[in-house]
């Protein structure tokens, strides 16, 4: 039973990772392509007016979807100077507590973001140049917060079912002497 749960966990984790990486890579590539073409167009021809708007929307989406991705790989700000000096058991306790607290905070922020999206939808706010409904793009905020919450919960549970100190769903404590994460076994 435990092995089946871990297997489901690992498959879901891998699927979400592929989606996140595809979206983030594609969005950054499109943003770079549009902004570079706009610079060339502005200097040689006429500016492309909608490019800045699309770049702004993509920046918002990359920021919030990247929140979940950064959490997965423990690429977030940690204040662990004191915890890193403690024995592994205490470090694990800190990791469990901070993962759970961070997940709760991300859920609270996700709910607030949903309320904001609903408010934007009710106001019928549109983007200035292309007149797209702005709330569609801001949907990335609750998605990012809930993905981050999911990642923190995964780290929380990993600290109970796997050895070592897990600070992200794919990352152990950085001071664990280069241990490579292998999700193929228990």
**Which pLDDT score, from 0 to 100, does residue 185 have?**
52
Whether the model clears a pTM of 0.75, i.e. scores above it, the answer is yes
pLDDT in the model for residue 177 = 47
Q: What is the pLDDT along the chain (186 residues), one digit of tens a residue?
A: 667 877 887 888 888 888 888 999 999 999 999 888 888 888 888 877 888 889 988 998 899 988 888 887 776 666 667 767 778 788 888 888 888 999 999 999 999 999 999 999 999 988 888 888 989 889 999 999 998 898 888 888 888 877 777 777 666 666 544 444 555 554
Structure tokens at 93: 């306790």
| CA separation for the pair 71, 171 (Å, rounded) | 9
Stretch (H or E) spanning 162: none
User: If 0-12 CB within 10 Å is exposed, 13-18 middle and 19+ buried, where does residue 164 land?
Assistant: middle
């Amino acid at each position: 039973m435990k092995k089946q749960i871990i297997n489901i966990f690992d498959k879901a984790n891998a699927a979400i990772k592929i989606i996140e990486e595809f979206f983030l890579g594609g969005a950054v590539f499109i943003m770079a392509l549009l902004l570079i073409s706009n610079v060339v167009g502005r200097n040689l021809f006429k500016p492309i007016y909608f490019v800045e708007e699309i770049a702004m929307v993509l920046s918002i989406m990359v920021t919030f979807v990247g929140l979940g991705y950064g959490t997965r790989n423990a690429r977030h700000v940690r204040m662990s100077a004191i915890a890193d000096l403690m024995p592994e058991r205490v470090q694990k306790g800190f990791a469990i507590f901070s993962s759970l607290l961070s997940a709760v905070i991300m859920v609270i922020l996700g709910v607030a973001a949903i309320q904001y999206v609903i408010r934007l939808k009710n106001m019928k706010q549109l983007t200035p140049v292309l007149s797209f409904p702005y709330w569609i793009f801001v949907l990335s905020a609750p998605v990012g917060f809930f993905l981050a919450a999911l990642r923190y919960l995964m780290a929380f549970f990993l600290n109970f079912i796997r050895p070592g100190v897990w600070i992200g769903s794919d990352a152990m404590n950085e001071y664990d002497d280069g241990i490579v994460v292998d999700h193929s076994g228990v």
